Amino acid sequence: MENDSPQSGAHAHIDQGQIDAAPTTSIDESESQNGHVARSWTAPITIISGLFIGLAIALAHHFMNSSLSGKTVESVSLSQAWVSRFATALAFLTKTAFVMSVGAAFMQHQWHRFHRQSYRIEEVDALTSVLGNILNLFSHKFWIRNPLLALMAIVAWTIPLAAIVTPASLSVAPQLYINTTIQYVPEPLFGGYKGYETSTPFGQLATAGGETSPGAPTVSGSDPVYKHAFGAASSGQPASIPSSSENQTYHLDFLGPAVHCSSANDSIIYNATMELGSQTSWAWFGGTTFASWTGQGLVAPTYSQHDRPETLDYINTDVARIWVMTNTGKWNVTLWRKPDNTTNSDEYSEVLWTQVNVTECQLYNASYIVDFEFQYPNQATNTSISQWLNRITTVGMYPRQESKTPHLAMMDAFGKLLVGSHIFSHYGDIPSYYTSWNIIDIDWSRGEQVQRGLEQLFQNCTLSVLSEKSLLKNATTGAQPVAVTSSTHPISYVYNQQDLWLAYGLCLVSTLLCAGIGTRAFVANDHASFQNMFSTYLRATGDAELRAIVPIDDTGADPLAKNIAKARIMMQGSGKE
């Protein structure tokens, strides 16, 4: 043993009595003399087992996360807290196994270096304690001369970082789940009534008769029909329909009433213009802004507060009609008309009238195609008419012909919204008679918009009955289940494999590299296993030489004396490069 310190003295004398008193074993002496020393395979077993145990636990962590991925938190019998605990435990065990393998490999390469060159005692201290104290990596420059040991020490200290990253690879988040089931949805009961029934949930068929046809059958809508018709008119959309879940979509086909609207013929427009249009060639004292009527369409009626207009067409034999006149737009066509009582004044010989717009709506039985979409709290419908089937009329009905009653009840409610008039004079607006046209959101100044708006209004009224239970089908009245697609966003487990395998993959590769270095060192050490234990250093160093430089009263407490720190030692051992 050499001592680079100037304070180094002679080798200490070892008491011979103490040596003689030491117990000996004849078997050990025999093995030593014959050169047959038992070899331990602890080092390679520890290196390899740590590597494979770590890999096995990492795979277990992966399979646990995979089994939970996509499942809702509520559907897993194990609580989320315990799942987190298991993930942390698996990450800890994986880290421990890999560090155990790297630590064993580090010690084999460390002893391989000890057997090949001498080290100062302070360097030996740094080497043997670096796995427990990371600061020793920065305390000596000799790490530059031992890059593999430095690399293995760094690996041993960075592997535990995986235990921070990998538990977070399994998280929870709202996930979209789409499920399609067959179930019953609201479906209107517009047909299927018996011949002996005198009333339906939509309305009642009576024989009281109206003004135009006394004694003939009449139809009046029920309160729910009126309620939903006026609600759809004021809101501009169908009533809210109940759904089995907050977010769902489904497709529904059914037969129901609808109106087909178009511009009235020229004779009706001419008559309405002459009766209700505004004069433009001389001072205008007022006119009818809006009017709607049923029955005979050739002459537009004028209403007063004493009139009681018919809201359902009992005149036309081919189809139930309703007419709507609007006089709020700038029409391109104008008509000339001579007054009945001519005067000598040329000013009144011919009067210019602005043409009004008249829309005619006819009642049909139509095939509805409706796509419902419920996205809480909103509801959307996409409605179209795939086929206009037969026309519906009240003429020719008899008291027991209830099959048309629901359609006519809807038309009656439609008429109660529109039939009536609104007059404007130079004194101001006169209150509307009967009509509720001003609550309807339609652009009355454009003929095309009036036609489409009235059709959409009737469709909204038809769809609104789906919110009224008494107007719906059930299992006994022919309801048919449909495919309903529901979407939910439950809190579910989400597994990010990249986070787990990036961390564990780096650990595995670095551990495998260290295991290779350690196994090579084991072979170079003549298949001898070494550990950083007191007994190992006691056997590998000359105790007498060490005691020679250590004062008798030195208890081993810090700090280390400089003369001891600078002393250079060479470990005993054998092996090959």
Secondary structure class of 238 (helix, strand, coil) = coil
pLDDT score, position 7: 40
Please give the pLDDT value at position 288: 78
Predicted confidence at residue 82, as pLDDT, reads: 96
Residue 354 CB neighbour total at 10 angstroms: 19
Among 457, 484, 397, 478, which Cα is nearest to 195's?
397
How are the residues of the chain apportioned to helix, strand and coil, as percentages rounded to the nearest 5? Answer: 40, 25, 35
Secondary structure letter of residue 188 according to DSSP? B
Peptide linkage before 242 cis (omega within 30 of 0) = no
Using the CB atoms, write b or e for 8-37: b if 16+ within 10 Å. Answer: beeeeeeeeeeeeeeeeeeeeeeeeeeeee
| Least confident among 96-110, 224-238, 350-364 | 350-364
Mean pLDDT of 300-325: 78
Per-residue confidence band for 310, with pLDDT thresholds at 50, 70 and 90: confident
In a 13 Å sphere around the CA of 451, the CA atoms on its Cβ side amount to: 13
The tokens describing 475, both together, are 């299992």
The percent of residues above 70 in pLDDT, for the chain, comes to: 71
What average pLDDT does the segment 431-440 reach? Answer: 81
Q: CA 325: distance to chain centroid?
A: 49
Residue 97 CA neighbour count, 13 Å, CB half: 22
Alpha-carbon distance of 206 to 198, in angstroms, equals 8
Q: Residue for token digits 């009656």?
A: 412
Q: Are 367 and 341 in contact (CB under 8 A)?
A: no
Element (H, E) at 394: none
Q: Note the Cα 426 to chain centre separation in Å.
A: 59
Residue 552, helix vs strand vs coil: coil
Kindly state the helix (H) or strand (E) to which residue 21 belongs, with its residue range: helix 16-21
Confidence class for position 145, pLDDT limits 50, 70, 90: confident
CA distance 386 to 381: 15
CA-nearest of 320, 130, 291, 300 to 217 is 320
The two structure tokens encoding residue 552: 């008798």
Task: Look at residue 27 in the predicted model and tell me its pLDDT.
Answer: 41
Please tell me the distance from the alpha carbon of residue 187 to that of residue 52, in angstroms, as a whole number.
Answer: 64
Mean per-residue pLDDT, 196-201: 69
> Closest by alpha carbon to 513, among 130, 57, 105?
105
The whole-model pTM stands at 0.65
Q: Is 224 exposed, middle or buried (0-12, 13-18, 19+ CB in 10 A)?
A: buried
Distance CA 253, CA 450 (A): 26
Instruction: Give tens-digit pLDDT for 396-427.
Output: 665 455 578 899 999 999 999 999 888 776 55
Q: Is 192 left (phi over 0), alpha (psi -120 to 50) or beta?
A: left
User: Amino acid identity, residue 476?
Assistant: T
Residue 17's pLDDT band (boundaries 50, 70, 90)? very low
Q: Is the pLDDT of residue 31 over 50?
A: no
Of 347, 360, 355, 340, the C-alpha closest to 274 is 355
Give the whole-angstrom CA distance, residue 187 versus residue 479. 7
Q: C-alpha dihedral over 232, 233, 236, 240, to 10 degrees?
A: -10
Please say whether the beta carbons of 465 and 203 come within 8 A. no
**Residue predicted with more confidence, 290 or 15:** 290
Name the average pLDDT for the chain: 80
Cα–Cα separations (whole angstroms), residue 138 to 99, 154, 155:
20, 11, 15
Which helix (H) or strand (E) segment holds residue 458: the answer is: helix 447-464
Judged against a pLDDT cut of 80, whether residue 88 lies above it is answered with: yes
Q: Which residue has the higher pLDDT, 346 or 535?
A: 535
Q: What tens digit of pLDDT does each residue of 503-543 get? A: 999 999 999 999 999 999 888 887 877 777 666 666 666 55
- Give me the pLDDT at residue 261, please: 97
- Residue identified by tokens 């961390």 is 503
By three-state DSSP, how is residue 331 classified?
coil
> Where are the extended beta strands (E) located within 313-356?
321-326, 334-337, 351-354
> Look-up: residue for tokens 């004062």?
551
270-274, 403-407, 430-434, 452-456, range with the lowest pLDDT? 430-434
- For the four alpha carbons of 115, 118, 121 and 126, in that order, the dihedral sign comes to negative
CA 29 to chain centre: 77
DSSP state of 209: B
The residues, ordered by sequence, that sit 6+ positions from 280 with a Cβ below 8 Å of its Cβ are 334, 352, 353, 354
- Residue-level pLDDT at 116: 80
Which pLDDT belongs to residue 61? 97
The amino acid occupying position 221 is G
